[in-house]
Amino acid sequence: MKKESGLKRIYRYLGIGFSNILYKISKKINPNVITVCGFFVFSLAWLQYLVMFLFGEVNLINKILLIVGFNIALIIDYLDGEYARKTNKDSKIGHHLDGILDFIKISTTYLLLYLTTTEHFGKLFIFVSSVIFTIFIWSKYTSYRENLMSKAPKEGKFLSLSLLFSFSIAHQYLYFSIYLMFGLWQILVLQIALGSVFTFKNFVKLFKMAKIIDRSE
- Distance of alpha carbon 57 from alpha carbon 45, whole angstroms: 16
Q: Say what the pLDDT of residue 195 is.
A: 59
Region of residue 146 (left: phi > 0; alpha: psi -120 to 50; beta: else): left
Region of residue 183 (left: phi > 0; alpha: psi -120 to 50; beta: else): left
Share of the chain above pLDDT 90, in %: 2
Share of the chain above pLDDT 70, in %: 49
- Which phi and psi (to 5°) does residue 138 adopt? -70, -40
- Distance of alpha carbon 214 from alpha carbon 216, whole angstroms: 5
pLDDT reading at 3 higher than 70:
no
Q: For the chain, give every domain's residue range.
A: 1-90, 91-217
Cβ atoms of 152 and 164 within 8 Å: the answer is no
Q: What is the pLDDT of residues 137-186, one digit of tens each?
A: 555 554 444 444 444 444 445 444 444 444 444 444 443 333 333 344 44
Q: Say what the pLDDT of residue 156 is.
A: 46
